[in-house]
Each structure stands twice: as C-alpha cells, then as structure tokens.
Structure 1
Amino acid sequence: MAPLSKLATNRIDDLSRRWTAFPNLETVGYYEYFSQSIHTPSIEQKHVDQSKTLQDFTLKRRTLGVFTHELTHWLDHTSTLWGHGNLIRLYEAIDARKHGREVDLWRIPLALADNKRTHFNEYYTEYGPAADSGRPWVATYTCGREYGLDGRIRNDRPVMFVRFSTPSNRLIVRAPLSVAALLETRAVYAELRADLHFISNLSEDDRIITTKLWQTEFMDRLYMARYAAYTVAAHFVANKAKMTNALEAFRYSSLLAGLALNLPPTLFTALRQPDGLEPWQELIPYLIASQNRGYAFLVLASSLPQEELPVEERIGLMLENAGLPTAPEIYTQTLTEMQALGGGVHLRNTGREQRLNGLLSVGFAYQKSFGPASAPYLANDAVLKADMRAVLPPVILGDGQLLQYGTPLPKQCEITEDWVTQSWDEEKQLQEFFGACLP
C-alpha cells in the first residue's frame, strides 16, 4: 500500500474538524467519519516498531490501544443498523450534489444534520458547579429538545440526557445520551481490554505496580466531567444495575449499546417506557418516531436486572422487561432490515455506489457472522492477536505510512491518496450548498 502524502493527511485532519462524529479530547488518533478512514497524527511507524519489541505499557497503549479504539469505531460505523443508515444518507447526499437534480438536494442538510445529531454540539453538555467534586456520581435522566437552524426549539426532536450530581444533588455534568456516547462506550471497552492484555504480559513486579497505577488513572478519569461523552453510558448502567465493578459496567454498556445501535425500526414502538419519564410524556412519540438510539439504550439499561446472573440470562430478562422479543428474534429482524436498506441504494456515480455497497456488504457479513456485540472483540483480536477474520481499513500513521490489521478492504473500498482528495473536494461541495440554505 502506497503511503499518503502530507497534503492528504492534512486534508483528513481538515475533514475531521467538521465531520468527526466522535468526541476527541486528545489528538493521538481519530476515526474520520466522512472518508471512513483512521488517522493517528502523533503515531509514526517507528513507534509501532518499538511497541513490538519493548515491554513498555505506556507505549503499547498509546499505539496498539489507540488502534483498537479507532478500529472499533470503523466496525460500528460499517456493521450496525445505525451505521448503514448513516452511510447511505451520506453517500446519497454526495450523489445528489454532484449528479442529482435540484429536487434531490434536500439530502445534503439531512446528512449534515445526521452528523451533528450523532454527537451533538458542546452546547448540549452542561457543566455544573460540582464538576470537579470527584466521586461518587448519582445518575438520573432528563429529556430536552434540539434547536433548529432558526434557533427555535424543536419539539419533534427530543434529546435524552443523563444528569450526574453529587449525593447532595449539586450538578456535576449533564451530558446527552447520543449515538456517539454509545459508540464511545464500545471503543473505550475495547481499549480497556487491550490495556489488561498489555499488563498481563509484564513481569510480575512490573505487573503489580502498573496495575495499581492503571486502576488509579482509570478511576480518576472515570469521574472527570470533561470525559462524560466517553463514560456516560457506563455510568448510567452502573447506577441502574448497582454495579461496583467499573470494567463490568463498561462490558454491559458496550453490549447494550450494540443492541441499541442495531434495534430495528419496528421494535421502537415495543419499548416499555421506564419510570421517571412522566414529565416528558408528550415527547415519547417523537423519541420513537425518530428512532432515538439513546432512548433505546436508556430503556435497556433501566430494564437490566440488578441480580448478578450469567450474561445470557441477564440479557434475556432485560429484553423481556424492556418489552422486546428474544435476542435471536431481534437479530433476525436486524439482518432483514440491513438487507432491505442495502437493496434500496441506487447512486448515479457508479464508483461511489460500488464503494458504498462494498462497505455495506462487509458490515453485513460481520453482523451475520458475529452479532451485535462483536466490534470491540474483533478490533482487539485483529491488533493484539493478528486475527485475520475482520476485513479492516488501514491505519494512516502520522508519517503517511499505512498500517494494515486484519484482511484488507476490497479494492473498491481502499483508502488511497485519490480517495482522500475526492472526499475532501466533495465535502467542500456539500458545505458550499449548505451555506446557501437559509433558515
């Protein structure tokens, strides 16, 4: 695979500033939504080579750990029902701008809004006077509304929030339970599993010391308000299910997020409303109509039994409590819905259509073979065990080198210099049109 030029990597950085759907407080690496590529600006080939030969925990987590995190994002974007709909709307918007008629240009604001709605602007996160108060955190949920382009509140677009407070009810942070929050809990879980793998390979003395340092850092970061987008889902599960083991909370939040991201549209009406939403009763129909994944996650987490049971039994009871059919029934409906979505895609640009169909096909194969919980585990196995089951994109390193894990993407989906340039040009055209749209 040919390395990318500095111009190409700069263009990916430029795209990420407008299209990264995932919060990124550090610039070690990120998944870039528009071009479906992974870039790690501060990691170069020499760092990767060193991570293979040195038993340096910090180096490994800053390289291999980052790769598992970002590859999990790519897997979730390409292999979930949410991701398939998201990709289709994006590709249809680009096709409308380049080859469509005026009557099709509405797809552009739709795709741009889809991206904003995935993460939500920082405006939607409220930091309270107790933001630096430490632990413990008490979680409750609330419901708000989006603002439209005209600055007015949209009653038809509710937003689920989790409010964290001190035991004396002083606000720490209120964070949206967004799609990005669900994606982050899965990527963080993959990264935590990688950390434990690195620690297990240390000498006994180093393992004891590193474990203590890691646990302290992990718990400190877990209770930092500015990391709420990464931890909100796990915190909510831990509060609802009375879990005291943080790693177990991430395990379950990752699993529940996978279910929420793959819930078929017809099952949103079956979700059993949890206690506490009575003040926002009039918004429930809109949460259902908009297939709000945060709402689906909230219902699942609120339905999770507090008893420590085997995972399958606990999930089965949760689904029953939530008003949903069994996991195999949901899985069958998810696959059917994915096939229906993919079968309805027809773009005027043949190359774009082939690329999209290639991504959807790879993602459908993941879902069919491994199920909704698979992404964090596939990413871990590809990076840490050289497992070839997963078809993955290359990681674009800071020096432009391409690092491949798993099996390379099919030719029509490759990440190349031309693809990055094309994505950058097409994104500018979408923004140009959107700039002409008035509230």
Structure 2
Amino acid sequence: MAIDKARMAELKGRSVFPERSAAAEFRFRSQVICLNEIEKAQFEGITDPSAFGSARLMISTIFHELTHWSDMVGTIWGRRHLRTVHSALGIIRNLKVAGTEKHFWKMIALHDAERRLMFPRYYRVQEGNGKLGTPKDSVIDFSGGIEFDAMGRQNAERPILFARFRGTGTFFIRQPLVVGALLETTAVWSEMKTGFEIASTLLNGADSVEKTFIGQELRNLLEDPDLTIYTAPARMVSYFASISDYRLVYEIAASLAFLCLNFREREFNKLRTPAIMHVWERRNDAWKRNLDPAYAFTAICVNAGRWIAGSTVESWIDGGLKRCGLPSAAVIREAAIAAMEAEDDLPPSLWTQQGNYLLTAGLASARARLQGSDPGLTMSLAVAEGLPLPPITDSNCEVGRLAFSTFDYDAWDPEEMFNVEHELDRAVLNILSACR
C-alpha cells in the first residue's frame, strides 16, 4: 500500500497543525501521519525500545506525530474538530448536485476552524533588539484583541487572547495564544519522554550523555525567540509558577494542556477568570462560548501561581482549577472519558465508518493517557496498554505499521483518506476563490 507521490508533493507542508521541522507532519483532515525523512524499514517489526538506542530522534519524532493523532481522535476538542472535518466530507462527492450549494458553508467553516489553530502570521509581532532569554528572564503579560472577519471587520464574538513576551533590551513579542500551541506542547512532552525512555536503555554512561543532549535540545527550543508560538504554554508555566527545571515545566504544561483539550462545555461555563483578565469584560464570556482551550489554559496557569515545596503536578493544577471554580483534574478526566463514550457517530459521509473506527481507537488512547496527570504517549505506554496506533506513511510514501500496535488495519485506509483529503483541499480552495 502506498500514497500517490505527486499528491503528497502537492500537499506537503500545507498541514496547519504546528510543526517545528520538515521531518514529519500530521495531516489533520485525513489523520494521516507522514514521515518525510524516515523509511518504514527503520521502525517496522521492532518491539523493544533498546533497539532504537542509536535512533532516539527517529522514534521520538514518530511519537511526536502519534501524539498529534491521539489529540485529534482522543480528546474532547479533537473529536469536536473531527466532526467539522466530516461535515465537509459529507458533501464532497455531491458538489455538482443541484441544491448542494446551500451546504458549501461547511467547507468554509472547516477552513476557518483550521485557520484559528495557529492564526495567520499577521497577528504575531516580533520587534526590537536583545534576547528572549529563559522563560524566567523574560516578562509575560497579556492583551486582548478581536479577530477580523471575512469582510475585514472586527468580530466581537471572536476575541483573541495575546501573550506578550518582553526580553532583554527592547526585545518584544506579541502573539495569539492558540490551540495549536497546546497541541505542540503535548507532542513535545511525548517526544521528550520517549527520548528519555530510549536513553535509559543505553549502557556505560551513554544514557547520561544522551539525556544531557535532550536537555540541551529542550533549552534551545524554549529560548528560541522564533518559536514562542509553539512554546508559549511552557514559557507561561515557567514564568507564573517560577520554575527553571525545563523538564518539569514541560510536564506541567503538557498535563494542563491535555486537560484543557478535554474540557466539556460545562467546564467552560463554570470557569472563573483571574482578576488580571477581568479587564476584557464580555470578551471573557465570548472565549468561553467559543470553547477555547488556550483561554482555559491561561486562566488556570495564572490562578495556579507559584510552585511551592512539596507540590506535585496534580496538586499545582488542582490549585489553579479550584481558584477557577472548577472540580479537580481527576474529576474532569473521568467526565471526559464518559462524554467520549456517550458521543454520537460522526456526520454521515462515505468515510463515516472509517472515522468512527478512529474514534474507537482514540477512546482507547484517551483512556490510557487520562489515567493520571501525565499525558505522555510513549512506546512503553503503547506496549503496556496494547494501544491501537495507526499506520504511518514513510518518506517513500509507503505505509508502515508499528509491530506493537493493535490497530485494525482493515477498518481504516490511509491511502483512501489521503486521496479524499486531496479532493477536499481542492474543493475548499475553489469555494474560497468564490467568496473570499
């Protein structure tokens, strides 16, 4: 089985999910994982983490992308977004049928939902001289804005929460706090945990050396001024909790990010915002109505405050939740699983059956990752829980399988789903040319 190389080349790099490199990408419309620099022979058939001892970056990259997949099919937010995708897929084969025009808005709705995952570059400002420095060295505050609609007018129902980073000298960054940053935070944590897991299998001191490399990679990531759109959640935790241990920072940030991705409408309705956010008045209500996980992350992070001796990740998050008028993280996690179990099938389309299987696989992934505060998706967790992880497309556009996955490969076809993504991509661009 292989994906068409010409179509892959046409869509390559056009996924809106946040990616820091060209090594791999997750196709959010088709849920296909594409490895641009890895061949399936490098990972197929391997079940022992020690076999990846000399290929830590490769397997870490794979679990980074698998986390994007899991967040898409195994969180309340992701499954809601998947419904938007399938709503558009439901009309893709009927575009020339009389009367279908009244449903074209579904493709525009998908485009707008995707656009908000990262927001266009217009909304990010970076200026001045100096350095961003460590998260604790820079000052972080917030501002509020309003999204421009398709007519170029401000839409009061679509406020934007901005993070502002002030580094040394005159260095300044202002950017939207986006869902994409939460997705990148959980994926980096899985990547890092996988790396430490692989490093621990090395002998004769090589494990310590490899773990030092991982720590330096994480430091470079967090202190890079060009990457704050991805690292904002972790930098916020470091600043408001006053923590300099980057590994702990990322564990906390990923844990809170994953929890917020699993907020139901009920949690958003009950959320009390911290005093420093009251200045935006009715915009706070709009953020809640829009079920914005990044907004919830910010409120809880600010309310959780400084990390004190004896704290745990769970207790720090629970403190922030309590000040926001919300139940404990454990209660929210349990409610999220129950909500996923009670969901209806996806909107009808030719691909609903395949999509519904992904929801089943995603529920298994969610149960494993919601057992405690740590949402890291690693090889050891996948093996221990017998997780159904999807097939992966390699650099030759061939489809590979993880030997330890329990995924039903007859229930979901990556080649077919990639082809329909290509079809949907053209249809969305066509309707956009008509109305934007």
TM-score, with structure 1 as normaliser: 0.87
CA contact (8 A) 1:254 1:373 kept: no
Counterpart residue number, 2:299? 299
User: CA offset at residue 217 of structure 1?
Assistant: 3.6
Counterpart residue number, 1:322? 324
CA distance in structure 2 between the partners assigned to 1:50 and 1:410 by the alignment: 15
Q: Give the secondary structure class of the aligned counterpart of 1:38.
A: strand
Which residues of 2 match residues 148-297 of structure 1 at below 5 A? 148-166=149-167, 170-297=170-297
CA contact (8 A) 1:189 1:250 kept: yes
Given the alignment, which residue of 389, 397, 401 partners 2:398? Answer: 401
Structure 1 window deviating more from structure 2 (251-260 vs 301-310): it is 301-310
Counterpart residue number, 2:380? 381
User: CA offset at residue 105 of structure 1?
Assistant: 2.1
Counterpart residue number, 2:127? 128
Given the alignment, which residue of 15, 24, 27 partners 1:32? Answer: 27
Counterpart residue number, 1:12? 8
Q: Give the secondary structure class of the aligned counterpart of 1:343.
A: coil
CA distance in structure 2 between the partners assigned to 1:40 and 1:212 by the alignment: 26
Q: Residue 154 of structure 1 aligns to which amino acid in structure 2? A: N
CA distance in structure 1 between the partners assigned to 2:432 and 2:344 by the alignment: 28
CA contact (8 A) 1:175 1:232 kept: no
| Match status 1:144 vs 2:137 | no
Structure with more helix by fraction: 1
Counterpart residue number, 1:433? 431
User: Cα 1:67–1:374, aligned 2, differ >3 Å: closer, same or farther?
Assistant: farther
User: Cα 1:334–1:277, aligned 2, differ >3 Å: closer, same or farther?
Assistant: same
Where in structure 1 do 4 or more consecutive aligned residues deviate above 6 Å?
49-57, 372-375
CA contact (8 A) 2:251 2:374 kept: no
Q: Give the secondary structure class of the aligned counterpart of 2:79.
A: helix
What are structure 2's unaligned runs of at least 5 residues? Answer: none
Counterpart residue number, 2:17? 22
Q: Residue 323 of structure 2 aligns to which amino acid in structure 1? A: N
Q: Give the secondary structure class of the aligned counterpart of 1:202.
A: coil
Counterpart residue number, 1:74? 69
Structure 1 window deviating more from structure 2 (355-364 vs 87-96): it is 355-364
Structure 1 window deviating more from structure 2 (108-117 vs 374-383): it is 374-383
Q: Residue 142 of structure 1 aligns to which amino acid in structure 2? A: S
Structure 1 window deviating more from structure 2 (243-252 vs 372-381): it is 372-381
| Match status 1:331 vs 2:333 | yes
User: CA offset at residue 407 of structure 1?
Assistant: 1.7
RMSD: 2.8
CA distance in structure 1 between the partners assigned to 2:277 and 2:235 by the alignment: 19
Structure 1 window deviating more from structure 2 (185-194 vs 268-277): it is 268-277
CA distance in structure 2 between the partners assigned to 1:377 and 1:187 by the alignment: 8
Q: Give the secondary structure class of the aligned counterpart of 2:93.
A: helix
User: CA offset at residue 56 of structure 1?
Assistant: 8.2
User: Cα 1:375–1:307, aligned 2, differ >3 Å: closer, same or farther?
Assistant: closer
Which residues of 2 match residues 416-431 of structure 1 at below 5 A? 416=415, 418-431=416-429
Q: Residue 188 of structure 2 aligns to which amino acid in structure 1? A: V
| Match status 1:112 vs 2:114 | no
CA contact (8 A) 2:50 2:202 kept: no
CA distance in structure 2 between the partners assigned to 1:412 and 1:389 by the alignment: 17
Deviations 1:20-60 (A, max 9, x none): 23222321111111110111111124554899899886x52
| Match status 1:85 vs 2:84 | no
User: Cα 1:191–1:301, aligned 2, differ >3 Å: closer, same or farther?
Assistant: same
Q: Give the secondary structure class of the aligned counterpart of 2:161.
A: strand
Q: Residue 71 of structure 1 aligns to which amino acid in structure 2? A: L
Aligned residues: percent identity? Answer: 24
User: Cα 1:144–1:250, aligned 2, differ >3 Å: closer, same or farther?
Assistant: same
How many equivalent residue pairs?
425
Which residues of 2 match residues 335-414 of structure 1 at below 5 A? 335-339=337-341, 342-343=343-344, 345-347=346-348, 349=349, 351-368=350-367, 370-371=369-370, 376-381=375-380, 386-387=383-384, 389-405=386-402, 406-409=405-408, 411-414=410-413
CA distance in structure 1 between the partners assigned to 2:374 and 2:423 by the alignment: 31
CA distance in structure 1 between the partners assigned to 2:213 and 2:330 by the alignment: 41
User: CA offset at residue 212 of structure 1?
Assistant: 3.8
